[in-house]
Amino acid sequence: MEELEGILELNKSEGIYIDIGTKVYLEIEGVNFSVTSIFIGMLQDEFMIITLPKRFKTVENKLFPSNKIVVKYLYDGSVFAFQTTVIELITNPIKAIALEYPKVVQKRELRVVKRNNVVIPGRIEAKKVELSIVIFDFSKNGCRFQYHDDKTSMSPLREGDLLRLYSQFPGILDEVGAMACVRNVRREQGKLSVGVQFQDITQSFLTPLMHFLYSIEDFSAV
């Protein structure tokens, strides 16, 4: 488990920025993979409570009092991270983990301009036509996708066109959508490669997008 560097002091007058129900990523001392849990409450300056993590049985023997954990989570477009220790593994009346309230916290913005190479199926609605697409580049601000240009179902997209893009992010059951504006178009071997910028993103689209970007980003410096 890595030690946090460049740590910022937590402003205790404001508390820690986290909402009930937030997914948290746990890096547990003695475990070589991360697990996820859900934040369910806290008493400021005293302790925090999270659910038992997924894959609990594989990490149960490391959730003993005083063992170190690095907690990372997303809030309002930034990654927050702090180091804490286990207070107690709770089994009654609920199953949860009590953690020490952090004394320091690190905040880092998700990189906006860096794009991540991915392959995700999706669809668009444009010019009163629906088309299947393959998204292969994602960032917080937009994405790039390809579609077959058969010139029969729809005239080619052009810069400035508005469309609605739908995708299903890995690990998310429901399809989510966002409005987007075409910024550039390239023709590549019978397909159109289209770069778009998201417009008026709703929280229902932003939240799974941010978690997806987090999952494929390199946060070794956090």
Q: Do residues 130 and 165 both lie within one domain?
A: yes
Total domains in the fold of the chain: 2
Residue 115 has pLDDT above 60, yes or no: no
Is 36 inside a domain boundary? yes
Query: pLDDT tens digits, residue range 30-55?
Result: 999 889 999 999 998 899 999 999 88
Do residues 104 and 185 share a domain? no
Same domain as 135, residue 60:
no
pLDDT level of residue 153 (50, 70, 90 thresholds): low
Domain boundary among 109, 140, 164: 109
User: Is 205 a member of any domain?
Assistant: yes
CB 78, CB 16: distance < 8 Å: no
Q: Within a domain: residue 3?
A: no
Beta strands at 129-138 and 104-109: parallel, antiparallel or unpaired:
unpaired
Last residue of a domain, one of 109, 142, 171: 109
Q: Are residues 179 and 201 in the same domain?
A: yes
pLDDT for residue 96: 96
Question: Do 97 and 23 fall within a single domain?
Answer: yes
Average pLDDT taken over every residue of the chain: 83
How many Å is the Cα radius of gyration of the chain?
21
Among 109, 126, 148, give the residue marking a domain's end: 109
- 65 and 103 together in one domain: yes
User: Residue 117 has what pLDDT?
Assistant: 66
What range does the domain containing 138 cover?
116-216
Integer Cα distance of 87 and 64 in angstroms: 8
Q: What percent of the chain has pLDDT over 70?
A: 84
The dihedral region occupied by 45, where left means phi > 0, alpha psi between -120 and 50, and beta the remainder, is left
Whether 175 is covered by a domain: the verdict is: yes
Secondary structure in 3-state letters for the chain: CCCCCCCEECCCCCCCCCCCCCEEEEEECCCCCCEEEEEEEEECCCEEEEECCCCHHHHHHHCCCCCEEEEEEEECCEEEEEEEEEEEEECCCCCEEEEECCCEEEEEECCCCCCEEEEEEEEEEECCEEEEEEEEEECCCEEEEEEECCCCCCCCCCCCCEEEEEECCCCCCCCEEEEEEEEEEEEECCEEEEEEEEECCCHHHHHHHHHHHHHHCCCCCC
- Residue found by looking up tokens 């289209």 in the block: 194
Range list of H helices, the chain = 56-59, 203-216
**Based on the domain organization, do 139 and 96 belong to the same domain?**
no
CATH number at residue 21: 2.30.110.10
The stretch 78-103 carries a mean pLDDT of: 91
- pLDDT average, residue stretch 101-107: 86
For residues 100 and 126, state if they share a domain.
no
The CATH code of the domain that includes 183 is 2.40.10.220
Rounded Cα–Cα distance for residues 98 and 50 (Å): 7
Interval 160-215: pLDDT, tens: 999 999 998 877 778 999 999 999 999 877 788 999 999 988 888 888 888 787 77
Q: Which of 90-94, 152-156, 173-177, 207-211 has the lowest mean pLDDT?
A: 152-156
